[in-house]
Structure 1
Amino acid sequence: MSSTAHHRMLGAAVVHRLPGLRRSPFALERAENGLFLLWLAYMGLLLLASYLLWRAGAWHRLVAADPTFLTVAITLLFFGCSIWAGRRAWVLGQQRQQLDVWIAQGAPSGAGPDWAEEYRHGCSAPGADRGTWMQVLGERAHGPHEMAWWLNGIQLKLGLLGKVIGFSILALQLGDMQSFDASQSSQLLKSLTGGLGIALLTTVTGLTGNILLGLQLMRLDRFADALVADTLASAELHPSSTDTGASHGHRPPGA
């Protein structure tokens, strides 16, 4: 159910074509809190890589080489969105567990807000419009992801902004040159590479964050897709106990 606009973003376009990522949830994701545990493992790898980069001094050099601090902003945005993705993975996992309880027992678990039960109860009401409740279910499962995808695109745009700023600095430095003295070539090259470094570092950081966050959001979307599909299928096989025969917006006889 991901919108076409999602796949126009670089992160979504890349992870959408990686092997296995278009599949429905893996067996590990279908286990209890499996999606959240998979996110924890993914973040553990990223934190390990971040620690190794810190030990190598890469973070210090990255900050020192970027006076615009756009790389810092992109990094903070990435980790903030990743924390949100972990929280979202937990919520979707809880909804998956409640749906599995309904499929197995034919009754809601009562453990908390249940999107599947809300859909079944809404569709069973007299005069209910099933299409409207399908939209509500889709909004529950996918609505919060829209902002996350937008922020994922912002990472890429911040990287491109840094690229423009870096080349602008480079152009200004070239414009200020009055003459070229071979004895000052080292100092000249040092000043010129400052703008080029800003352009390259911000672009690489934006692209990396866009791809890594897009990977998380793509799995959330696929998990939500499967959750909605299974909810619709379970509603057909196991209608709500309050079902009075309403379907597709028509009132039952005598209502």
Structure 2
Amino acid sequence: VLAAPDGRKVLDASTASLPRGLVRDHIESLVTKAAAQDYRPVDQTLLLRTLADRLRGSNGFGAFVSDTLMKLGLLGTIIGFIIMLAPIAGLDAADKVAMRSSMGLMSDGMAVAMYTTLAGLVGSILVRIQYYMLDAATQRVFSDAVVLTETYVTPVLERKGAGTAS
């Protein structure tokens, strides 16, 4: 049982005060490490690095997706310009009917270019916003885990090492 100075239970195996998850796994690893080294002062630096990596998980994937969406939008722009300029290659300036149909094809190509650019930019921005919020939440969870372990867990483990805790 890990208890706060005011008597509140922080971690109790019989009542499972903390839900299963990365923070609880970190605390269990910290308790295991402390027990293995006879409850001497616990350095949780490596365990905190591991927790940070596990919390971040695939956050980097968001940057990849955002960049990929932008690049796909630019690729669509290039394809649209190719579609737009293709009718000009064999165009006879004297043929008004051909000019009219070429103008229609050119506007279709420009529409493809603009819509793909718009879709790529909007998609990229939306994904980037979501992953920014996810990253901020991840940082808050990590910060809370550090405060929890430094304030409640390691003092109890160190008191056990001194033989004063139950």
Distance 1:170 1:216 in 2: 35
- Pairing partner for 1:122 from 29, 41, 51: 29
Q: What are the equivalent positions in structure 2 for 1:102-117 lying under 5 Å apart? A: 105-107=9-11, 109=16, 112-117=19-24
Pair member with larger Rg: 2
Q: Unaligned regions of 5+ residues in structure 2, if any?
A: 1-7, 162-166
Q: What are the equivalent positions in structure 2 for 1:213-232 lying under 5 Å apart? A: 213-232=127-146
Distance 1:111 1:119 in 2: 11
1:182 Cα deviation (Å)? 6.2
Deviations 1:68-118 (A, max 9, x none): xxxxxxxxxxxxxxxxxxxxxxxxxxxxxxxxxxxx641264675322222
Normalising by structure 1, we get a TM-score of: 0.49
Instruction: Please tell me whether residue 157 in structure 1 is matched to residue 61 in structure 2.
Output: no
Distance 1:213 1:158 in 2: 14
Q: What are the equivalent positions in structure 2 for 1:38-53 lying under 5 Å apart? A: none
- 2:94 is aligned to 181
How many residues end up aligned between the 2 structures? 143
1:229 Cα deviation (Å)? 0.5
**Aligned CA distance change for structure 1 residues 212 and 146 (closer, same or farther; 3 Å):** same
- 2:60 is aligned to 146
**Aligned CA distance change for structure 1 residues 243 and 236 (closer, same or farther; 3 Å):** same
State the one-letter code of the partner of 2:147. Answer: A
Could you say what secondary structure the match of 1:106 adopts? Answer: strand
Normalising by structure 2, we get a TM-score of: 0.72
Structure 1 stretches of 4+ with a deviation exceeding 6 A read none
Could you say what secondary structure the match of 1:113 adopts? Answer: coil
**Aligned CA distance change for structure 1 residues 243 and 114 (closer, same or farther; 3 Å):** farther
Instruction: Please tell me whether residue 192 in structure 1 is matched to residue 96 in structure 2.
Output: no
State the one-letter code of the partner of 2:24. Answer: E
Q: Give me the CA root mean square deviation.
A: 2.7
Could you say what secondary structure the match of 2:153 adopts? Answer: coil
1:235 Cα deviation (Å)? 0.7
State the one-letter code of the partner of 1:223. Answer: A
Q: Which has the higher contact order (CA 8 A, sep 6+)?
A: 1
Distance 1:236 1:211 in 2: 37
- Pairing partner for 2:151 from 213, 217, 237: 237
State whether residues 120 and 240 of structure 1, in contact with CA within 8 Å, keep that contact through their aligned partners in structure 2. no
